[in-house]
Structure 1
Amino acid sequence: MSRATSLGFSPDRLARIDRHLKAYVDAGKLPCAQFVLARQGQVVHQALAGEQDPERGTPLAENTVFRIYSMTKPITSVALMTLVEEGLIALDDPVAKHIPEWKDLGVFDAGIEPAFMTKPCARPMQVVDLLRHTSGLTYGFQNRSNVDAAYRKLKLEAFHGGADLEGFVRQLARLPLEFSPGEAWNYSVSTDVCGYLVQKVAGKPLDEVFAERIFRPLKMVDTGFFVREDQRSRFAACYEAKPGGGIKLQDDPTTSPYLGPPQLLSGGGGLVSTAADYLRFANMLVNGGELDGARILAPKTIRLMASNHLPGGADLTQMSRSLFSESTNAGVGFGLGFAVVFDPPKTLIPCSQGEFYWGGMASTAFWVDPVEEVTAVFMTQLIPSSTYAIRRELRTLVYGALMETNA
């Protein structure tokens, strides 16, 4: 009996995943695709398609290094929660307690940078607002408001050549919030601010905190803020979708800024990693905060993180003011670092109550299903992540192959 069969999956149905990914690559829609599926911590299936560097014909490998962008956010959130567990910071702390320069932050009323008119916040921003993206902060790429235009003007989201974390936080103190904390959900630089809080509360640089509290205990040997010399031959090229179809090179792995340490240690999007490394992180989460004897968080803390924290129990379609308000988020809320399914039928795809997940700008993704004890990691390098619905398709294919369920 195969491992897949012994863990409740149909090997024949899992093979659909390989065909599906190969079709994307063969059609020129993706440069490469890697998918790893595990149950109860054991790898059930792995699929590889395409080349990590099509310009040079370098094949995709199991240990290819990818830019994971916003899949950095759950790692930052976990690091912050380790400090919460130690009583060094609390979810209901006013952010201004830790960032005094933010004490008088106002909400946008009118004007453009630098002549903004503001009104007072209805209540102070709390640490929980940063973790669940209800802070009132935004992203420059949203292209929706005068506030995000100011983010673009100040190049707030530049990892390389911009400000460091301290300077980043000082720049944000000059700008208004888009809304009063807790009033809406808006995808934002909130997790970068969480990274700053981790660094400040722990009293050491963010990369050192990640290494000490997460990467070394979990043996995530290929995850960091830049590509080391010994990883360069494994670093993937990143592509951008062309408006008329097809893809074009966006970041060459031989000249990429990721080859050196960034100025801004971005807890919101700065890490590179491998599928194997990220699967270890996901397996720690599904296992209640522990993996192979390394305890990162307590089970109750993981459950708290994987609960819907949107005010009033709303879902993202009701609360979102950003690019993530589409109907595919029906029945999906947001926890402390990732999206959380709380009403599976509304999602219109097979999934479990309490399943949580997130993805990155280059179309990478992961999910954790505590009910079925399933973890999955998808890696590719195509910007933007909204180009194809491949992440939803993969979940449908996986659950279409799961023959023995726990629910």
Structure 2
Amino acid sequence: MLDHDRLDRVKAWQQRYVDQRKYAGSSVLINEGGQEAFFYATGLRNIEEGLPFTRDTLVRIYSMTKPVTSLAIMMLLEKGLFHLDAPVSDFIPEFTDMQALVRGATAIDQVEPSRAPTLHELLTHTSGLSYPFNPGVLPAAMEEQQLMFKPGQGKLEKMAAELAAYPLAFQPGTRWEYSVSIDVLGRVVEVVSGKTLGDFFETEIFAPLGMSETAFRVPRGTGDRFASLYTPLAGDAMALNSAKTGGETLRLTDLHGGSPFETTEMMSGGGGLVGTIDDYMKFSEMLRRRGAHKDGYLISPKTADFMMRNHLPGDIASMGPQSFAEQPMEGMGFGLGGAVVMDPGRARCPGSVGDFSWGGMASTFFWMDPVLDLSVVFFTQLSPSSSYPSRAELKALVHGAVI
């Protein structure tokens, strides 16, 4: 069980990040055995207006959208509408005649024939797709064409088709590379369900879970509860390839009143959602309860177990990744939508075998610990998430409170 005196260390840690101007503000919510055990918020959600970081603050969860999209795929899988070894070209025909870069390629036209990635390879980031902020030939081409699935970049169908015109970074299944593959799966959800991704999320996931303030667009009436986004970088907060630190550790990059998340067109299944900490805890608790919610099941317990086991041959590190990632790679496997702790020692971070977790580019993070029966959600708004080791520190603090 959790010792509440020891959990007070979390408060001191959060305040230290604010005092050192690493984060403008943050909140932590911990449930133990389905009951709230801890909540604390400190600092500001908006420095410019002096607005506090509160429990009802809305944030950009970026890649914490990925587990939601992966859940949607598994909900459709349970209906027998496809199997995970199906090629993505069955749903998005533009992926039919694929090519992949040859090993050691230095130009985008150095290619060889390739099969289309499968749905399983998309789910596990072994598809051959990439992200513009990764190193390499394909990421550079993606960056040049802004293939990023940002909120103001039009419709999902169009960008998924544009992406298919580029070669894969490697032959599917041969490596692990963090990628826009979950965005592509968002389009698969649309094709199979006949609904927009936003409508599917709302009717099939958010409404049953009571996640009333999570969406691809900042909900109407939110006003100034939508947090500002900051970065310690002198340039683009997402441009990790050319990142430069500047003198200001909390440089404003996006705020309410003029944010693209207030007029979202692109429903990015890989990084487009905004929401509150209580809403995301409802999602994490559904995973902890193996698919269950107060009125039934989104997925069966067996399917939930299947999602949250390692789907790689070994850990992520064994698959030669060259990309940015939201988690350590040694001692960490990857399930469907999140990382799975295989060996806490090799991951060099306190944890339980079977922990399921993921984070977002603005330094948000969640994990579900089936051994200790815990769900933990951390919200802040600083990009990139690689700026500080806050996730490992928070896990150590929580495990230090278990007695």
- Please, what TM-score do these two structures have when normalized by structure 2? 0.93
RMSD: 1.5
Where does 1:161-310 land on structure 2 (aligned, <5 Å)? 161-242=152-233, 243-244=245-246, 246-260=249-263, 262-310=264-312
Where does 1:383-398 land on structure 2 (aligned, <5 Å)? 383-398=383-398
What CA distance in whole angstroms lies between the structure 2 residues aligned with 1:82 and 1:392? 31
C-alpha deviation, 1:329, in angstroms: 2.4
Other-structure match for 1:106: 99
Q: Which moved more, 1:227-236 or 1:378-387?
A: 227-236
Other-structure match for 1:90: 83
What letter matches 2:268 in structure 1? S
Deviations 1:36-73 (A, max 9, x none): 01111111001111011111011111110000000000
- Segments of 5+ residues of structure 1 without an aligned counterpart are 1-7
Other-structure match for 2:323: 322
SS in 2 for 1:313: coil
C-alpha deviation, 1:244, in angstroms: 4.2
Where does 1:58-137 land on structure 2 (aligned, <5 Å)? 58-109=51-102, 110=105, 112=107, 116-121=109-114, 123-137=115-129
What CA distance in whole angstroms lies between the structure 1 residues aligned with 2:277 and 2:326? 28
Deviations 1:280-317 (A, max 9, x none): 0000000010121231111111111111111x223335
1:152 pairs, out of 143, 153, 177, with 143
Q: Which moved more, 1:157-166 or 1:229-238?
A: 157-166
SS in 1 for 2:385: coil
What CA distance in whole angstroms lies between the structure 1 residues aligned with 2:22 and 2:317? 28
Asked if 2 retains the 8 angstrom alpha-carbon contact of 1:279 and 1:376, the reply is yes
What CA distance in whole angstroms lies between the structure 1 residues aligned with 2:211 and 2:246? 39
1:35 maps to 2:28 = yes
Asked if 1 retains the 8 angstrom alpha-carbon contact of 2:149 and 2:159, the reply is no
Other-structure match for 1:5: none
What CA distance in whole angstroms lies between the structure 1 residues aligned with 2:386 and 2:117? 30
- Please, what TM-score do these two structures have when normalized by structure 1? 0.92
Deviations 1:129-179 (A, max 9, x none): 00000000000111x222112211221114244241111121112100000
What CA distance in whole angstroms lies between the structure 1 residues aligned with 2:360 and 2:224? 22
SS in 2 for 1:239: strand
Structure 1 runs (4+) deviating above 4 angstroms are: 110-113
What CA distance in whole angstroms lies between the structure 2 residues aligned with 1:231 and 1:316? 41
What letter matches 1:387 in structure 2? S
C-alpha deviation, 1:325, in angstroms: 9.7
C-alpha deviation, 1:124, in angstroms: 4.1
- Segments of 5+ residues of structure 2 without an aligned counterpart are 234-244
SS in 2 for 1:307: coil
What letter matches 1:375 in structure 2? S
SS in 2 for 1:377: strand
Asked if 1 retains the 8 angstrom alpha-carbon contact of 2:291 and 2:297, the reply is yes
C-alpha deviation, 1:258, in angstroms: 1.2
What CA distance in whole angstroms lies between the structure 2 residues aligned with 1:283 and 1:169? 31
What letter matches 2:69 in structure 1? T
Asked if 1 retains the 8 angstrom alpha-carbon contact of 2:151 and 2:272, the reply is no
